[in-house]
Structure 1
Amino acid sequence: MTAEDARALLVQAVSIPSLSGHEGEVAAFLRDWMTEHGFQAHVDDAGNAVGERGTGPLTVALLGHMDTVPGEIPVRVDEHGVLHGRGSVDAKGPLCAFMAAVAALPPDALERARFVVIGATEEEAPSSRGARHVMHTLSPDMVLIGEPSGWEGLTLGYKGRLVARVSVERGNFHTAGEGHSAADDLTEAWFRVRAWAGRTAEEGGIFDAVQATIQDLQAVNDGVTQRASGTFGLRLPPRIAPGEAEETVLELLRDLLDVRVTFTGHESAVRHPKDNALTRAMRVAIRAQGGTPVFKVKTGTSDMNVVAELWPAPTVAYGPGDSALDHTPDERVDLAEYDRAVAVLTAALTRVAAGAP
C-alpha cells in the first residue's frame, strides 16, 4: 500500500456521487477495492460497504460513512495537492484513511486482531440506517468513528439532537381585529424555545448548553385558514436527554392552544473517556508523525451517538480534514494531511494489535 494508492482511492471515492439513500455505486467501488487489497468484503443488507482483515481475538470496528449532503463541487486536485469535492472531508477522507491503513497492516497485527471497516449509509440523514444496522451485527472491543478531526485531533464526544416540528392552524381573521395570527403563535413558540436554550448557556460552555436553530419556516393563508409551521433543531448537552428536552418544549408551549408539536431525531449526547488503550495508541502515533495530540468535543452529532449504547467500548472519532468545511461549497482536504492520517492509523492499529492477548 503506497501513498499514491491511498490517494487514488480517495480521489475515486470522492468522484462518485453518493447522496444519502443513493450510495450503491460508491458502495460497490469500495467493496471491490477492499477485495482487491486483502479484505473479505461485501455490501450488507443496509447497503453498507463492509470489509474485514485479520483473525485475532480483538475486534476493532472502524465505522465511517460514505454518503454526503447535496451540493456539487467539481472534483479536482489543485497545484497545492489539495483535493476539492463533496465528501472529501465529510467523510470519505476519514473512511478511505481507515481502509488504506487496514490494508497496510503487517501480518502479525492481523494474527492478533480483527479489523472491520464499515462505510455506512445515511449518516447524513436522520435515519442513520447503516450504523443502526451494523450496531446489531458487531460487538467490537474498540471503535474508531470516521469523522474529520484534523490529523492531530481526537474527538471524544458529540452533542445530542432533537428536532421539533411546530405547526399552528386557525381560521382567518381581519388583521385590523384583535387576536394572534398563526404566524404570531409560531413566532412566540420559537422565542420561548430560544430563551430556554439561552438560559442553559448561562450554566456552562457551548458543549454543555442547548443550541437552538430554525431549520425552516412556512406560512400560508388561503383566505379561510391560516397555517404556519417551522422546524426547530436542538443540539443537546450530555446532561439533557432527548426525552427530557421533549418534555421541556411541550411544557413551554402548553398554553399556546393551537400549537402542535411532533419530534424526530432523538439522539443522546455522548462523551467517552480520554485515557484507554485506543487513545494511548493514537497519541503515540500522532507524536511519532511530529504532531501534538489534541482532544476535542463537537457540537454536532455523528454515528458515535448512534452506536454508543450497544458498543460500550473505548471509542474515538478520527480523520483528516477541517470539520469547519463540512457541508460547505469549499469542502476540501490537503492530501498531505490525509497521508499523515493514514500513517497515524496504521501505526496506532499495529500498536493496538501488539497489546492484544
Structure 2
Amino acid sequence: MSGSALDPVEFLKGALEIPSPSGEERLLAEYLAEGMERLGIRSFVDEADNARGQVGKGPIQVVLLGHIDTVPGRIPVRLEGGKLFGRGAVDAKGPFVAMIFAAASLPEETLRRLTVHLVGATEEEAPSSKGARFVASRLQPDYVVIGEPSGWEGITLGYKGRLLVKVKREKDHFHSAHHEPNAAEELVSYFVAIKAWAEAMNVGQRPFDQVQYTLRDFKVHPAELKQVAEMFLDLRLPPRLPPEEAIRHLTAYAPPTLELEFFGREVPYLGPKDTPLTRALRQGIRKAGGRPVFKLKTGTSDMNVLAPHWRVPMVAYGPGDSTLDHTPHEHIQVEEFLKGIAVLREALKVLGEGGGTRVG
C-alpha cells in the first residue's frame, strides 16, 4: 500500500487550518476521514464524531488513537523555517496525522498480519473524553499507541491521574466585626490543610510520584443574607494514589460545613518498559537514527481513560515537543514529524513480524 497520494505535511497543514475546539470536531473528522479514504484506508465518522479508519486483515489488532480536539485559541497556520505552526500541530493533530500516514504506507505482508484501527478522538481536552470512552467497549486491541507528543525519540510509559474538586461554603451573613471566620476564610483554611497534606505526601518522592495541586479558581459572591464562597482545585495523582483514595483524604480534612463535589476522575497509569510494543518502537526509533528514551508525564491523556478497559501493552508516542502544548507558539518541526511517521511505520512492521527483539 502506498501513502504517496497525499503529501503528509500539506495534509497536516490542512488539518491545522480547520478549527476543532472540544465539542466542535465534526468538520475536521470529515476532512481526516476523506484523507484516509484517499490513502486507501477504510474510514468513517462515528456517532461520537471520531475520525475512524481501518486497514489490514490480520489477527493482531492494533489501535492508534490520538485526539483531534484542541484547546481554544487560534494560531496563524504557516510553514516557516522548517516549522509548521498552528493550534494542534503538537497537541495532537500532528501525532494523529503521523499515525495515518504510517498505517497507509504499510506493506501488504504486514497488513496480512495486522489490523490497524485509527481513532481521531474527540473531547480529550475536556473532562468528558467523549471519543475515547465511545470506542472503549467497541474495540478489543492487542496493542495500543496513544498519539501524544513524546518527541520522535521518546516513548511515554505513564501519565498521572487527575481529580477535580469543587468546594463551597455557604453561611448566614454577619457583621465583619464579629469574631468568626467568614465563608471565604473557611475555604482558605481548608486549602492550607490540603496543601500541607500534599506536601507531606511528596517528601522524598520523584516528580512523577508526587501529588500536584493547583488552585484554579476562587470566588466570593456578594453577600446579602448569605455568604457564599467557592473554590476549584485540580489535583494530579501518582500511581500510588488513585482518585478514590484521594477523595477519602480530601473528605477527611473537610469540616462538615463544606460542600465537596468531585469529578474529572482519571486513574493514574504506568506501563512496563519491556513489551513487544516498546521493543517495536525502540527498533523503529533506532532505525530512524535515534536513541530511544522512556518518559513519564505529569499530565493526563486518553491513556488514563482507556487503560482500565484495555489491559494490553499501551504507550503514548508522537512527534512534537510537549512543552509547546497550549502555548501561543505551538509548532512542529517538519523533519521530526516525518521521522515520527517512519518510526511508527517500522514499529507496526515489527509487531507484524512478531514483536521485535527482546531486550534486558
TM-score by length of 1: 0.97
Flag the 1:3–1:158 CA change in 2: closer, same or farther, 3 A.
Answer: farther
The number of residue pairs the alignment matches comes to 353
Structure 1 unaligned residues grouped into runs of 5+: none
CA distance, structure 2, for counterparts of residue 225 and residue 318 of structure 1: 51
**Residue 141 (structure 1) aligned with residue 148 (structure 2):** no
Map 1:12-27; keep pairs closer than 5 Å.
12-27=14-29
Q: Is the 8 A contact 1:71 1:86 kept in 2?
A: yes
Q: CA deviation at 1:224?
A: 2.2
Q: CA deviation at 1:10?
A: 0.9
Q: Is the 8 A contact 2:158 2:270 kept in 1?
A: yes
Q: CA deviation at 1:61?
A: 0.2
Q: Is the 8 A contact 1:203 1:209 kept in 2?
A: no
**Secondary structure at the counterpart of residue 214 of structure 2:** strand
Q: CA deviation at 1:196?
A: 1.1
2:116 maps to 115
Flag the 1:27–1:44 CA change in 2: closer, same or farther, 3 A.
Answer: same
CA distance, structure 2, for counterparts of residue 64 and residue 49 of structure 1: 10
Q: CA deviation at 1:222?
A: 3.0
Q: CA deviation at 1:44?
A: 1.0
Deviations 1:134-187 (A, max 9, x none): 010011000000000000000000000111100111122222221111110111
CA distance, structure 1, for counterparts of residue 347 and residue 149 of structure 2: 17
2:98 maps to 97
1:271 maps to 270
Map 1:27-176; keep pairs closer than 5 Å.
27-78=29-80, 80-176=81-177
CA distance, structure 1, for counterparts of residue 77 and residue 85 of structure 2: 5
Question: For the aligned residues, what is the CA RMSD?
Answer: 1.2
Flag the 1:3–1:228 CA change in 2: closer, same or farther, 3 A.
Answer: farther
CA distance, structure 1, for counterparts of residue 150 and residue 5 of structure 2: 20
Map 1:327-342; keep pairs closer than 5 Å.
327-342=326-341
Deviations 1:207-257 (A, max 9, x none): 11110001111111233221110110110010111011001001011x3x4
Structure 2 unaligned residues grouped into runs of 5+: 356-360
Deviations 1:181-209 (A, max 9, x none): 11101111111111111111104111111
**AA aligned opposite 1:276:** T
CA distance, structure 2, for counterparts of residue 25 and residue 31 of structure 1: 10
**AA aligned opposite 1:112:** R
**Secondary structure at the counterpart of residue 74 of structure 1:** coil
**AA aligned opposite 1:76:** R
CA distance, structure 2, for counterparts of residue 3 and residue 169 of structure 1: 62
CA distance, structure 2, for counterparts of residue 216 and residue 77 of structure 1: 37
Q: Is the 8 A contact 1:156 1:274 kept in 2?
A: yes
**Secondary structure at the counterpart of residue 329 of structure 1:** coil
1:301 maps to 300
**AA aligned opposite 2:281:** M
Q: CA deviation at 1:2?
A: 4.4
**Secondary structure at the counterpart of residue 145 of structure 1:** strand
**AA aligned opposite 2:291:** T
**AA aligned opposite 2:242:** A
**Residue 182 (structure 1) aligned with residue 191 (structure 2):** no
CA distance, structure 1, for counterparts of residue 158 and residue 173 of structure 2: 47
**AA aligned opposite 1:282:** L
Q: Is the 8 A contact 2:159 2:300 kept in 1?
A: yes
1:6 maps to 8
**AA aligned opposite 1:305:** N
Q: Is the 8 A contact 1:158 1:297 kept in 2?
A: yes
More displaced stretch, 187-196 vs 21-30? 187-196
CA distance, structure 2, for counterparts of residue 104 and residue 21 of structure 1: 31
Flag the 1:319–1:168 CA change in 2: closer, same or farther, 3 A.
Answer: same
1:206 maps to 207
**Secondary structure at the counterpart of residue 188 of structure 1:** helix
**AA aligned opposite 2:315:** V
**AA aligned opposite 2:308:** E
1:223 maps to 224
TM-score by length of 2: 0.96
Deviations 1:39-85 (A, max 9, x none): 1111111111110000000010001010001111111111x110111
**Residue 318 (structure 1) aligned with residue 320 (structure 2):** no
CA distance, structure 1, for counterparts of residue 69 and residue 295 of structure 2: 24
**AA aligned opposite 1:265:** G
**Secondary structure at the counterpart of residue 222 of structure 1:** coil
More displaced stretch, 327-336 vs 142-151? 327-336
CA distance, structure 2, for counterparts of residue 221 and residue 89 of structure 1: 42
Q: Is the 8 A contact 2:5 2:39 kept in 1?
A: no
Q: CA deviation at 1:3?
A: 10
Q: Is the 8 A contact 1:172 1:221 kept in 2?
A: no
Sequence identity (%): 48
2:284 maps to 285
CA distance, structure 2, for counterparts of residue 4 and residue 130 of structure 1: 26
**Secondary structure at the counterpart of residue 344 of structure 2:** helix
CA distance, structure 2, for counterparts of residue 276 and residue 284 of structure 1: 12
CA distance, structure 1, for counterparts of residue 177 and residue 4 of structure 2: 73
